[in-house]
Amino acid sequence: MSNLSVDNLLGIKYLKLQDIELIFQMASNFKKIINKRIKKVPSLRDITIANLFFENSTRTKLSFELAEKRLSADVINFSSSVSSVNKGETLLDTVKNVLAMKVDIIVLRHPNPGASVFLSRNINAKIVNAGDGTHEHPTQALLDAFSIKEKYGEIKGKRVLIVGDVLHSRVALSNIFCLKMLGAEVNVCGPSSLMPKYLDTLGVSHFSNLKEALEWSDIANVLRIQLERQEVNYFPSLREYSMIYGIDKTLLDSLNKEITIMHPGPINRGVELSADVADSKHSIILNQVENGVAIRMAILYLLAGKIKNNK
């Protein structure tokens, strides 16, 4: 396969296995380039990309922007906090105005689940979902899976544990879709109150006991407690959450095996992960961030190829 089966990247659930394999192959090539002294290629110099962020972001926003610049695209950035959204402008009107400036690709982060799908049905531009509420975060799942493949050589058969606030996590949902498609076993661990009711339909099981769950796993992808999305208290206090579901060095040392620690960021140090675990040799958290640029370059390159084929 030489290009994606989809016209937009809206979620992992819309991708085929061959799409993911193609993205990984491209990302490997781009990773070699961005580790050279001259990190830039001219591939997208005729493409304009708008990064529209209606929610806070550090890693995703910066790595999309860097990926675009490494590919020589023209880039404009938008943050809702300093935009005319605050004067009542709708998402659709905002995007139509951006597209009137001859933009080819929209990268969208939005608090509403389904915002990217909505846009894709109402505008004529390529859309990349950079995280939509509690729904999906496809580029995060792809960079997570790519990082696992890079460390272990293959994903098939690996046991991946997702720990924490699965209920509010777009990272968890996209990771489950992506890793299962690639042949990993995926289970989750955390308070029952932070598990979605439809967990069975995703083909994953729930561990209540963190130590047992870690003994089962090869890799633990640890999530942040998303207080900003919690309208009620799902557990008594962060202190108690940390005592039962936080991972520290003492817990890891008590296991009969070594496991790899991942985290999508931002980390709440001392809550879901202790600082010594986040910074330990078992952690590949900064490798994930590094791979985010190559993965996003691959996706933008492949979507831009579709625009060029239609011109």
Taking CB under 6 A as the criterion, the residue among 30, 43, 264, 303 binding ligand CP is 264
Torsion of CA 42, 44, 47, 53, to 10 degrees: -120
By the 10 Å C-beta count (0-12 exposed, 13-18 middle, 19+ buried), 35 is classed as exposed
Query: What's the closest the beta carbon of residue 119 comes to ligand CP, in angstroms?
Result: 19
Say which amino acid occupies 143. Answer: L
Q: Are 267 and 224 in contact (CB under 8 A)?
A: yes
265 binds ligand CP (CB under 6 A): yes
Q: Is 291 one of the binding residues for ligand CP (CB under 6 A)? A: no
Does residue 131 bind ligand CP (CB under 6 A)?
A: yes
Q: Binding mask 45-84 vs ligand CP (x if CB under 6 A, - otherwise)? A: ------------xxxxx-----------------------
Query: Which class for 243: exposed (0-12), middle (13-18), buried (19 or more C-beta within 10 A)?
Result: exposed
Among 18, 96, 266, 276, binds ligand CP (CB under 6 A): 266
Q: In the complex with ligand CP, which residue's Cβ is closer, 187 or 221?
A: 221
Give the single-character DSSP code of 18. H
- Using CA atoms, how far apart are residues 290 and 256, in angstroms rounded to an integer? 30
Question: Under the criterion CB under 6 A, does residue 138 sit at the interface with ligand CP?
Answer: no
Segment interacting with ligand CP (CB under 6 A) among 191-199, 206-214, 244-252, 261-269? 261-269
Kindly state the smallest distance separating residue 60's Cβ from ligand CP, in Å.
3
Tokens standing for residue 231? 């309208």
CA-atom Rg of the chain in angstroms? 19
Q: Compare residues 190 and 264 and give the one whose CB is closer to ligand CP.
A: 264
CB of 114 to ligand CP, least distance (A): 18
Name which position in 140, 147, 169, 174 contacts ligand CP (CB under 6 A): 140
Q: How far apart are CA 48 and CA 129, in angstroms?
A: 17
191 scored as a contact of ligand CP (CB under 6 A) = no
Residue 280 corresponds to which amino acid? S
Choose the binding region for ligand CP from 33-41, 69-77, 229-237, 264-272 (rule: CB under 6 A). 264-272
- Comparing C-alpha atoms, which of 124, 193, 101, 142 is closest to residue 299? 142
> Which x/- pattern, by CB under 6 A, does the window 215-254 give for ligand CP?
----------------------------------------
- Written as six digits, the tokens of 58 are 């550090």
Angle of helix 17-34 relative to helix 59-70, nearest 10 degrees, comes to: 70
Count of residues that bind ligand CP according to CB under 6 A: 10
Number of H helices and E strands in the chain, helices first, is: 11, 9
Q: Which residue is nearest to ligand CP (CB)?
A: 60
Of 60 and 116, CB closest to ligand CP: 60
Write out the E strands in the chain: 48-53, 74-79, 105-110, 126-132, 159-163, 185-189, 206-207, 219-222, 260-262
CB of 290 to ligand CP, least distance (A): 13
Q: Which residues bind ligand CP (CB under 6 A)?
A: 57-61, 131, 140, 264-266
